[in-house]
Amino acid sequence: MTSKPDFTAETENEDAAPAVPTPGNGENDSDSQAQDTTGEMDPLALAEAEIDLLNDKLLRALAEQQNLRRRADREKSEATLYAATNFARDLLSVSDNLARALESVSDDARALAGQSFKNLLEGIELTQRELQNAFEKHNIKKIDPMGEKFDPNMHQAMFEVPDNSVEKGTVVQVVQPGYKIGERVLRPAMVGVAKPE
């Protein structure tokens, strides 16, 4: 047998005023907590946001410092490498003159030369080798583009040579070798370039 619900207690209190929660009960405490969190920022959340911001600033400052250090190191190494550029450029004419002096003596003249003249030639050759070794030591390299494609950044075309045996724009004659220090050109090579007939 099922029991019927008793509605008498509810009907008796129907006309009574609804119950209002008082500051002492649990419902009111949870409502006031929600109001605090929605009305004001939580101090813990504020602190975490500030920590995130400071971490971000710190990481950016460290990255910038590292970039500055790298840039300073690169500039220092470039300054060291290119400091002697003007001096090296002036020495190129000395190297050219030594080469011209050696080229001016033919093989026949060498064969017929006396001992003192041979010693002089050997001294000039030794001086030229020492100068080239000093250039190599300071990263100064010779540009001798014979048979290469003409490059306006490294070569200076002096004239064109009619020649169908090679591709147009190929260097077929080197009037004066060029030099570069590191990746910079000290002096472009002066060349003759092939053109079709």
Q: Note the pLDDT tens digit of each residue in 47-66.
A: 888 999 999 999 999 999 99
Count of other CB atoms within 10 angstroms of residue 118: 12
CATH numbers and ranges of domains, the chain: 140-197 (2.30.22.10)
> Do 170 and 147 form a contact (C-beta atoms < 8 A)?
yes
pLDDT of residue 38: 53
Q: In the structure, what pLDDT confidence band is assigned to residue 39 with cuts at 50, 70 and 90? A: low
Which of 130, 133, 126, 140 lies closest to 177 in space, CA to CA? 140
Please identify which residue in the block is written with the tokens 């000039």. 124
The helix (run of H) or strand (run of E) holding residue 33 is: helix 26-39
Please report the pLDDT score of residue 16 as a whole number: 47
Average pLDDT, integer, range 171-185? 91
76 band by pLDDT with thresholds 50, 70 and 90: confident
Mean pLDDT confidence for 171-195:
91
pTM over 0.85: no
pLDDT tens per residue across span 107-133: 888 888 889 988 999 999 999 999 999
Low-confidence winner among 11-15, 69-73, 98-102, 123-127 (lowest mean pLDDT): 11-15
Query: DSSP assignment of 82-150, as one string?
Result: HTTHHHHHHHHHHHHHHHHHHHTS-HHHHHH--HHHHHHHHHHHHHHHHHHHHHHHTTEEEE--TTSBP
- What does each C-alpha distance from 97 to 102, 104, 110, 139, 144 come to in angstroms? 9, 10, 19, 21, 17
The predicted structure's pLDDT at residue 166: 87
* pLDDT for position 151: 92
Report the distance separating Cα 135 and Cα 155, nearest Å.
Answer: 20
